[in-house]
Amino acid sequence: MPIRVLSPELAAKIAAGEVVERPASVVKELVENSLDADAGSISVEIRGGGLELIRVVDDGEGIPPQEVEVAFQRFATSKIALAEHLDSITTLGFRGEALPSIAAVSNVVLLSRPPGEHGGTLVEVAGGKVVRTAPQGSPPGTSVTVRGLFRNVPARLKFLRSPAAEASRVQTMLHQFALAFPQVRFRLEIEGRTAFASPGGGDLREACSSVYGPRTARTLLEVAFSEEGTGSIDVRGLVSPPDLSRASRSYIHLMVNRRWIQSRTLTYALEEAYQGFLMERRHPLAVVHLTLPPGEVDVNVHPAKLEVRFHREREVFASLQRAVRSALVAHAPVPTVRSTTFTASGPTRAPASMMLQGLPSQPSLPLSAPGGDVKAASTPREVVPSLRVLGQVQSVYIVAEGPGGMYLVDQHAAHERVLYERVQEEMRERAPQVQALQYRYR
């Protein structure tokens, strides 16, 4: 086959394979355009999992009438103009491929009106070609309606999941945007019902409440770290305390300059900060925003812009780990454990090496209890409150519940303590029991 230039229609469909993989990809591209237009409210409606209908409406800056048709040409964008601009991208979109790629695999109707215009402009595109343009009244902002996604590319449909599964992907996408832009009000309608809505008040904890519920949002710990200087790194967000974890990493949200990304390096840094706080195969819930100078981040390394490259990856790694670790240590500092030993003459303080989990070299209180200090008393009955036994750990510790929280009792040390006190009591009240030793001589 000879070398030849592909037709614009075929080239657009190839590009759509990179940008438009499924309905959630369409929603992502359209919502990013709305955010780049400084929208304060974005509404998304889908039907049939997004294959029948996708509609995204915003109150952003809109598109001037003379630029509406140009927006559907490949590589047409208002985000960059020179090659040097790629080194300092501050917008979510910049390639100019989203609208023409979507229009190549569906029918698109766009209605837009800038706030300064008296009316809007409607443009209808089918199969990648503009079929109608007309003036039409509309509120300020832009509305994009996508119908019949992938109807002209039937091979793509067999790789999609059920409408419910595709709708779930769209909802997850909206959750990510709500956590990345808490100052924007998002609303998702699925099959005519509101499935998700965020307040858009600018408070990250409120945004987390709309995604994960108010009870979970209240327990999250605040993360705040800032590195001053020329290449300043700012880390802000919310992370879960050690007693709140998940079975997968899907609850870890990392945003770099408001862009939701996937990064194994940063995910590893965040989970390393939890070293010693979480059980194995458990993962934290986190919403972390990293802000860096645009020149320190390369966002043009992935077709769907899901990955970025850092010029100072080690510094970013260390800043994230330090910020999260500091929040965890401040919430749950390493406790100072003290205990009391009991001898025949009364209570004395045990050395620090003898104080954990009832493993002393001399008889001591075999109890690890919340609260730190243990009140000195003549008998353990006065030190240990009434406890309710919950279970046993590896046939070594007894787990019990009391007024101060959870108690771990070393069974072996506790048995030794019982025997020790029994001997003390016999010595005070009467002669202790004595067992004579018999020796046999040969």
The candidate with the shortest Cα–Cα distance to 104, out of 134, 74, 78, is: 74
Q: Are residues 345 and 329 in the same domain?
A: no
Is 406 strand, coil or helix? strand
* Residue 440 within a domain: no
Of 333, 362, 389, which residue is a domain's last? 333
Claim to verify: residue 267 and residue 188 sit in the same structural domain = no
Question: Is residue 280 one of the residues assigned to a domain?
Answer: yes
Q: Rounded to an integer, what distance in angstroms lies between the CA atom of residue 280 and that of residue 141?
A: 49
Q: Are 362 and 353 in contact (CB under 8 A)?
A: no
| β-pair type (185-190, 41-47) | parallel
Q: Are residues 306 and 406 in the same domain?
A: no
Q: Say whether both 183 and 168 belong to one domain.
A: yes
Each residue's pLDDT, cut to its tens digit, for the chain (442 residues) gives: 667 666 766 666 655 556 788 999 999 999 999 999 999 999 999 999 999 999 999 999 999 999 999 888 877 777 665 666 666 677 787 767 888 889 989 999 999 999 989 899 999 999 888 999 999 999 999 999 999 999 888 888 888 999 999 999 999 999 999 999 999 999 999 999 999 999 999 999 999 999 999 999 999 999 998 876 556 899 999 999 988 999 999 999 999 999 999 999 999 999 999 988 888 889 999 999 999 998 888 887 776 678 888 989 999 999 999 999 999 988 875 444 444 444 444 444 444 333 333 333 333 344 454 544 444 444 445 566 677 788 888 777 888 887 778 888 888 888 888 888 888 887 777 766 666 666 555 5
**Torsions phi, psi of 237, nearest 5?**
160, -160
Q: Are residues 362 and 417 in the same domain?
A: yes
- Residue 210 is assigned to a structural domain of this protein: no
What are the φ/ψ torsions at residue 64 (nearest 5 degrees)?
-60, 150
Intra-chain end-to-end CA distance of the chain, in Å: 107
- Do 362 and 391 fall within a single domain? yes
Are residue 147 and residue 228 in the same domain, yes or no? no
Does residue 417 share a domain with residue 397?
yes
Tens-digit pLDDT profile for residues 40-51: 999 999 999 999
- Both 12 and 110 in one domain: the answer is yes
Q: Are residues 69 and 190 in the same domain?
A: yes
In a domain, 212, yes or no: no
Instruction: Supply the CATH number for residue 242's domain.
Output: 3.30.230.10
Count of domains forming the chain: 3
186 within domain boundaries: yes
Please name the residues in contact with 65: beta carbons below 8 A apart, sequence gap of 6 or more.
Answer: 117, 121, 135
The CA distance from 24 to 19, in Å, is: 11
> Scanning the structure block, which residue is given the tokens 């409606």?
45
Residues 115 and 139 in one domain: yes
Instruction: Kindly state whether residue 126 falls inside one of the protein's structural domains.
Output: yes
pLDDT single digits (tens) 209-250? 999 999 999 999 999 988 765 568 999 999 999 889 999 999
DSSP string for 260-306: EE--HHHHHHHHHHTTTTS-TT-B--EEEEEE--GGGEE-TTSTTS-
CATH of the domain at 1: 3.30.565.10
Q: Is residue 253 part of a domain?
A: yes
Domain membership of residue 310 as a residue range: 220-333
Based on the fold, state whether residues 349 and 327 are members of the same structural domain: no
